Amino acid sequence: MLSRFFGGSLVALGLLAFAPMTVHAGPGGGPPGGDDTVGLYSEAAGAFFLTNTNDFGPASSAFGYGASSVGFVAVAGDWSGTNVSGVGLYDPATGTFFLRSTPDAGISDFTFTFGAGGSAVPLSGDWNGDGGHSIGIYDPSTGTFFLKNSPGSGGADATFTFGPGGESWIPVAGDWNGDGTDSVGLLDPVTSTFFIKNVAEAGPADETFGFGAPGNAFSPIAGNWDNLGGDGIGLYDAATGTYRLRNSLTPGLADAKFTFGAGGGQAITGDWDGN
Contact residues for Ca ion, defined by CB under 5 A: 34-35, 126, 128, 130, 132, 175, 177, 179, 181, 224, 226, 228-229, 271, 273
Give the Cβ contact number of residue 106 at 10 Å.
12
Minimum distance of Ca ion from residue 157's CB (angstroms): 9
Q: Report the residue closest to Ca ion, judged by CB.
A: 34
Choice between 111 and 181, CB closer to Ca ion: 181
Q: What are phi and psi of 199, to 5 degrees?
A: -125, 140
The H or E element that residue 123 is part of is: strand 121-125
Minimum distance of Ca ion from residue 149's CB (angstroms): 5
Choice between 2 and 158, CB closer to Ca ion: 158
Whether 72 contacts 126, CB under 8 Å: no
Cα–Cα distances (Å) from 262 to 13, 49, 59, 91, in that order, read 5, 12, 12, 25
Choice between 132 and 136, CB closer to Ca ion: 132
Phi-psi region of 8 (alpha: psi -120 to 50; beta: other; left: phi over 0): alpha
Minimum distance of Ca ion from residue 82's CB (angstroms): 13
Choice between 166 and 179, CB closer to Ca ion: 179
Minimum distance of Ca ion from residue 229's CB (angstroms): 4
Q: What angle do CA 72, 77, 79 make, to 5 degrees?
A: 105
